[in-house]
Structure 1
Amino acid sequence: MSARSELLKRLREDVHRPLSKEGIFQKFEIAKEQQQMFSDLLDDLIKSGHIFKNSQGLYGVPEKFNLIGGRVEKIASGNAFLIPDNPEKDDIYISSANMNGAMHNDKVFVRPIRSDRGKSQAGEVAEIIERVNKEVVGNLEKYKNYGFLIPDNKRICNDIFIPPEALNQAQNGQKVVAKITRWPEKNRNPEGEIIEILGNKDDAGVDIEAIIRQLDLPGEFPDKVLKQIENIPDQVNEKTVKKDDGRVDLRDLKLVTIDGPDAKDFDDAVSIEKQGSDVYRLGVHIADVSHYVTDNSPLDNEAYSRATSIYLVDRVIPMLPEKLSNGICSLNPQVDRLTMTVFIDYRFHGKNGIEIIDHDITKSVINSNHRMTYGEVQDILDNKEQAKKEEYSDFIEELEMMNELRRRLRKNRFAEGSMDFNFPEVKVELDEDGHPINLKKRSHGEAEQLIEEFMIAANRIVAAEMSWREMPFIYRVHEEPDLDRMQQFNEFIHNFGYRLKGVKNGVHPRALQEILEAVRGTKEEKIIETVMLRSLKKAVYSEKNVGHFSLGITHYSHFTSPIRRYPDLTAHRIIKETITEGYLSQKRQDELDIELPKIADHCSLQERRAMDAERDSVDLKKIEFMEDKIGEEFDGIISGITGFGMFIELENTVEGLVHIKNLRDDYYHYDEEKYHLIGERTKKIYRIGDEVRIKVTKVNRDKRELDFELIEKID
């Protein structure tokens, strides 16, 4: 056991009162020459939230002080939830009155308090461990000699006061960046200083630039990173392949990359071989990024800082420089590439049966035969495109075998309890000036499912292998939902005539999947899927393997995208070390015990910020797309109902509000139990899923608001 794990274990089990640093040294008989190392370890554990130090300078594990560590996730109302560091703990509700100056994504300790939310656990922020929002982007509203910055990130609910001396010539209506100079307190806004003027808020490109700055990520890579990559070759060196012990030569194996038409960084290639009458070997070949991104190098440190590539509507902010992401690490066709390969042998039986009979994880070198798009593969599977079948004639048989494997894997996975949400993805098409000209729904057909199933399969094998070996590892986990949230969800769907099985004793994901299957194609499908998703916890990275609830999987990791996700790169390093030597030394295990919780927490935070930015960029362009459509009429469906009106979703996925005050034919009242609006005189009812015709009346890009007027209900 590592020094870190041993210290935490003994503080939990053997120490019954807070201790000073000297008291810990004495209690655990720490030799004088080791005290500096343990002092550094204590400081590190305080920063990570695993140890609490009180105002008297005494140390202890948080639970002994009745504290729970985690990150704050604000919601639109100004209230928040604590997402605990320990994925086995339930989320904790924090009212706005109990935030005590904490902001969205801050790392904090929360003290549980008595809840007025039924069975939901509530808490108040007791201490802020780490501030995240050191710089904030937004619009400046300037008054006589002072101003307020209105944050673009609506989860930062506090406007930021800018005193006269901190305006730095910024003008009213400009998009600016402010550095926080005084953190918020109870009943007091944060204060800031303008450090950069991005431009007028309506200038072309300023909106997306603001989202980038909100992430606090540089657009360019530092000079020391660019200098390091000068020494990375553009081609795979044959001498390197031969010198690398244990690297298997798979250059004669037929394989292919399948991705979207716009993709440039190809993480994965796939292969399939028939081993006998009923045995098939799937090969999932992932770019060996760790061969080029060495641990603790400038390139590695920058990749860790970014943690993920970010896909905005008009650009990609990559985790790795283009020389790697689109070059030597990208599995382009007809060139040699270093990879990590997962082979999985499946036996088919019966019409739908499938079982794993063997697997292998190895370093490899490949040469991809083809780069295919999802559309091309789908056309071939549908037998639509004869020209494409001729172009890829050497791989048609493999594609048909892959599709049969996909079908069985998918059927088996959902039978075991995996959940299948059906939220449409939208691609925003832009003109040369960055203005939206079209909103196009992305398909998720058999071709997309094929790669999805194969990546899930590889991620499962890798996680199970490392768990079986009992090696430190980074997992992708999704904890079981809170029981009270499931009970609330069950009460909600009861209004639509559905019932959730087993809700009293803990819900199995299969029960939720049955609800998803039952609502597919119905009027209430979207709202039930949305409420279900909000009732679940968020998937995160963790050094603890607690399983993945929504996939119905006990072992899961992220291994298949090391070009764009740092946890995958970390997983590759650990796997390579393990399979090369057969084990990890105790020293290396101790190092990982310290490193992995930090990596997991940092990457989970960066992932949330990236997802917020990606969603913001799409939502922003959706609103902009509707700016010239004021007065136009569209058909849509009621996607949500509240006490203040109805949300209407159009066919292009844009959503707007019909305010209740603008329903002029009657006075309408909101029935909370049945989730519908009912007219006082006419008894006319508006329900989720009803088809309506609307007119666009107002578009406000700053507030991300879209207002509709109801024309008629379509019967």
Structure 2
Amino acid sequence: MSARDKIMEFMADKAERPMSAAELMKVFKIEKDQKGIFINLLKKLVKEGLLFKTQDGKYGIPEKMDLIPGRIEGNPRGFAFLIPDDPTRDDIFISLENLKGAMHNDRVFVRLLSRQKGKNREGEVVKIIERANHQVVGNLEKSKYFGFVVPDNKRIFYDVFIPKEELNGARQNQKVVAEITRWPEKKRNPEGKIIKILGSRGERGVDIEGIIYQLGLPQEFDYEVLEEAKSIPLEISKGDLKGRRDLRAMPMVTIDGADAKDLDDAVSIEEVDDNQVRLGVHIADVSHYVKEDSALDREALKRGTSIYLVDRVIPMLPERLSNGICSLNPNQDRLTMSVFITYQLEPFKLMEYEIVPSVIKTNYRLTYDEVREILVHKNKAAIQKYRDFVPYLKLMNKLRKRLREERVARGSIDFDMPEVKVILNEDGKPVDIINRVHGIPEQLIEEFMIAANRVVAEDMYWRQIPFIYRVHDQPDHGRMADFNEFIHNFGYHLKGVNNEIHPRELQELLQLVEGRPEERLITRILLRSMKQAVYSDQNIGHFGLALDYYTHFTSPIRRYPDLMIHRIIKEVIKKGYLPARRQEELEEKLFEVAEHSSLQERKAMEAERDSVDLKKVEYMKDKTGEEYEGIINGVTNFGFFVELDNTVEGLIHVENLEDDYYHYVEEQHALIGERTRKTYRFGDRVRVRVERVNLDERQIDFSLIE
């Protein structure tokens, strides 16, 4: 048993009260020369939320003190939720006055204010464990004697006070980076100093730069990381092949978007007999090049993920690896980890699987559009060009269909939300917004990756190996009750809301609304009502996929958990087990890796969404006076939001509805005319005119056309 486990076992089962470090040292007979190590371990357990340190320096189990550790998720409207570390716990509402100076993404301990379950579950921050926002990016509002930085990230709802002597030459309306020097307190804003001026508001590229700086990550890799990358050969040696299965003669391809450069997965398929096929999923073996605790590894962990902004990529690994030796480029030898899964087609059943280190050479680098031309449009030129691989694609499509049917049968939820791509010209200006297609080719890769991730997670779980899982917990009961109340307006109803709802219920609802005017709206509200999938060292299953075991194994070039998982799998395959010391090391490390990776993923998602939304608003800048069709996707007491078919969103202010006095009726999620009883509600289609576009506020105002 590891030292941390011994401490936790003692505190949970034997300690009758919170204890000081000195008392615990006596219990565990810690020598003076080991004091520093022991104190650091206690600090780490506090940071992980496993222990709570009182004001008088005593340590106790949070649950015994009615405390819940987790991370704050701010809301632009001035309140927040605690996302508990324990993914089986419901989220907890926290009002502004009960945040006690905590900010978006901070790690905290929270105490419940009420024992009541459901929508009224509310708490207050008792202690801040770790701050997340050491820097804030925003616009400077300057007066004669001081200034305020108004954050771009609206989840950070405190403006940062800047004393005159800390303005450092920044001027009114400039986009700046402020470093926090004093954290917010009750009725007191955070205080900071300007450390970087990004440029004037509206200046080309400044807004995207702001998004990048808000991530707190450098765009460039430092000298040590680049030098380590340079030392990695660009060719595979004979020594690299030792212990690997040679699959270079096996027909296989990569299938990605046309602009993808970091190709980390290839697929193959074999017909075992008339009723069995063998799927091969081959993933770049990044762990062969990025050694644990190397400069490359430390930087990859710090970044956590590659970030795909609208006009650039901030990679997790230097280009020499991500687009070079680790990328599964066609007709080049590459080191991989391969998962082979044999399926019986009728009745559909997983028969056996195998996970092996390998070396491959892909035949082609296919795009989704090329595969679409072959499988969907039966394009003769495309079929002729790839004629030697077309039979494999057809067999893959047959397996895709069976995998998808099996996934639907077990209750997996498919959120078919429209995704768009903003097209930029050479000057970075948006010139078009196009819908991303999610058809058969995209589904094919999606199903194969889910299959590989599922097999790997289950294998490691039953071996009882310390691991990182991709988990998605049951929805919060209160939010599901609210959602059920909302869909009543459209004539729908969910069963089992008061108990543990099965994902099949939600899947069936999405099938019911498919193709209806309210489909996009109900899908979006359902997404908001569910918990986020996260990384965890504890397996609780994946609600959305209706799976008991799931992980992320298939993208080690761009996701750190996948890279860590590859290392663990290779160690287990090589020895058949993990030595006790390595198990203890991983048990101490994986919580922090999972927690940090989840945080970095959330930051990346926010940044990616912000960059797209920014360019959407910029795209509409010269569209003033133009008319569009849209759907009402939000109703408030001050107006309603309309989403156009190109996913651009704007607001119609209630004061601009001039034919009547309109009042917000919360139960119906609608604005209703006092005299005419005319109603504007969620899901209604309307025609609008673009009236104003405000780039600074990233806001578009519409007017209604009757």
Verify same fold: TM over 0.5.
yes
2:86 and 2:655 map into 1 onto residues whose CA distance is 45
Matching residue of 2:322: 325
Other structure's SS at 2:483 match: helix
Q: How does 1:513-532 map to 2 (within 5 A)?
A: 513-532=507-526
Deviation at 1:31, TM superposition (A): 5.6
Moved more, 308-317 or 26-35: 26-35
Deviation at 1:32, TM superposition (A): 5.8
Distance 1:119 1:689, change over 3 A: closer
Deviation at 1:87, TM superposition (A): 1.4
Matching residue of 1:368: 362
Contact 1:264 1:326 in 2 (8 A): yes
Matching residue of 2:283: 286
Q: How does 1:439-454 map to 2 (within 5 A)?
A: 439-454=433-448
* TM-score, scaled relative to structure 2: 0.98
Matching residue of 1:304: 301
Mapped pair 1:105 → 2:99: no
Matching residue of 1:261: 258
1:378-425 deviation digits (Å, cap 9, x = unpaired) = 110024311110111011111011111111111110110110112111
Other structure's SS at 1:627 match: coil
Distance 1:150 1:530, change over 3 A: same
Q: How does 1:68-107 map to 2 (within 5 A)?
A: 68-107=68-107
Moved more, 440-449 or 700-709: 700-709
Mapped pair 1:631 → 2:625: yes
Deviation at 1:489, TM superposition (A): 1.4
1:251-292 deviation digits (Å, cap 9, x = unpaired) = 011000000000000010000000011010000000000000
Mapped pair 1:584 → 2:578: yes
Q: Letter of the aligned partner of 2:100 in structure 1? A: N
1:687 and 1:598 map into 2 onto residues whose CA distance is 44
Mapped pair 1:186 → 2:186: yes
Matching residue of 2:122: 122
Q: How does 1:384-395 map to 2 (within 5 A)?
A: 384-395=378-389
1:574 and 1:116 map into 2 onto residues whose CA distance is 42
* TM-score, scaled relative to structure 1: 0.97
Which of the residues 676, 680, 702 maps onto 1:708? 702
Other structure's SS at 2:388 match: helix
Aligned length: 706
1:139-165 deviation digits (Å, cap 9, x = unpaired) = 001111211111001011011111110
1:361 and 1:118 map into 2 onto residues whose CA distance is 43
Distance 1:609 1:28, change over 3 A: same
Q: How does 1:453-492 map to 2 (within 5 A)?
A: 453-492=447-486
Contact 2:230 2:320 in 1 (8 A): no
Q: Letter of the aligned partner of 1:91 in structure 2? A: D
Deviation at 1:37, TM superposition (A): 3.2
1:104-159 deviation digits (Å, cap 9, x = unpaired) = 00111111112789654211111111111111110001111211111001011011
Contact 1:5 1:593 in 2 (8 A): no
Moved more, 49-58 or 146-155: 49-58
1:666 and 1:224 map into 2 onto residues whose CA distance is 67
Mapped pair 1:206 → 2:206: yes
Deviation at 1:636, TM superposition (A): 1.5
Deviation at 1:688, TM superposition (A): 2.5
1:471 and 1:327 map into 2 onto residues whose CA distance is 32
Matching residue of 1:403: 397
Moved more, 400-409 or 675-684: 675-684
1:341-370 deviation digits (Å, cap 9, x = unpaired) = 000000011xxx411000000100000000
Other structure's SS at 2:658 match: coil
Q: Letter of the aligned partner of 2:326 in structure 1? A: C
Which of the residues 267, 271, 274 maps onto 1:270? 267
Mapped pair 1:438 → 2:435: no
Contact 2:202 2:696 in 1 (8 A): no
Contact 1:523 1:688 in 2 (8 A): no
2:35 and 2:579 map into 1 onto residues whose CA distance is 24
Deviation at 1:47, TM superposition (A): 2.3
Mapped pair 1:342 → 2:339: yes
Q: Letter of the aligned partner of 2:288 in structure 1? A: H
Contact 2:118 2:479 in 1 (8 A): no
1:577 and 1:158 map into 2 onto residues whose CA distance is 47
1:575 and 1:206 map into 2 onto residues whose CA distance is 43
Other structure's SS at 2:261 match: coil
Matching residue of 2:39: 39
Moved more, 671-680 or 492-501: 671-680
Contact 1:99 1:125 in 2 (8 A): yes
Matching residue of 1:3: 3
Matching residue of 2:353: 359
Contact 2:202 2:695 in 1 (8 A): no
2:176 and 2:632 map into 1 onto residues whose CA distance is 37
Contact 1:638 1:649 in 2 (8 A): yes
Q: Letter of the aligned partner of 2:602 in structure 1? A: R
Contact 1:636 1:694 in 2 (8 A): yes
Distance 1:600 1:227, change over 3 A: same
Mapped pair 1:550 → 2:547: no
Contact 2:629 2:644 in 1 (8 A): yes
